[in-house]
Amino acid sequence: MNQAPPRARLFFALWPEPALRRELARIQHERVGSGRAVPVANLHLTVLFLGLADPAQAMRVADGLRVPPFEVCLRREGYWRNGIHWLAPESTPPELSRLHDGLREGLAAQGHAFERRDYRPHVTLARRARPAPGRALPPLRWPVTDHALVESRPRPQGPEYRVLRRWPLG
């Protein structure tokens, strides 16, 4: 009898190194006035959300993808109607688009279905937030040298993220 492959709630992400994570935490502390702040350990920029998927299949697709290192410059701050308080780049670096598109196309070719929506790279600072008066955001430069496959495990206090594997860029 064949056993179905294990499935987990997965996403590919840019996972900040400790120094950048501390800087994101500082910005979060200064700017999140309402809502529920994302735990500092969970701060990331989603490259591609998979939902329930086979981790081995996702890893095989990522193994075949080559994208050079690049930089993301977070300089926009905003709120969506659903209460998400976010930081984002003014424009998406072409390499980030290549990474997103390559992963999406590779998984779609393996039969994975995705929602139809535009890719809007961002770092979520808080949920259920209300807009606050705008303040200038000094640019935060993020040198991207790798990306990660992350598992999201639901917990009563909010999701717990576990990095399953990282891939160097280049």
Distance between start and end Cα atoms, the chain: 41
Residue ranges per domain, the chain?
A: 8-168
H helices within 13-81, ranges in order? Answer: 18-31, 55-63
Catalytic residue from among 85, 100, 122, 147 = 122
From start to end of the chain, where are the E strands? 8-14, 36-37, 45-53, 70-79, 85-89, 123-127, 140-144, 146-153, 160-168
Instruction: Give the model confidence (pLDDT) of 117-166 as tens digits.
Output: 899 999 999 999 888 777 788 899 999 999 999 999 988 888 899 999 99
Catalytic residue from among 44, 85, 112, 147 = 44
The C-alpha atoms of residue 151 and residue 163 are separated, in whole angstroms, by 6
Residue 126 is encoded by which pair of tokens? 């808080």
Q: Is 147 a catalytic residue?
A: no
Instruction: Give the model confidence (pLDDT) of 52-111 as tens digits.
Output: 999 999 999 999 999 999 999 999 999 999 999 999 999 999 999 999 999 999 999 999
Q: Is 44 a catalytic residue?
A: yes
CATH H-level superfamily of 8-168: Cyclic phosphodiesterase (3.90.1140.10)
The C-alpha atoms of residue 72 and residue 92 are separated, in whole angstroms, by 8
Of 29 and 96, the one with more pLDDT: 96
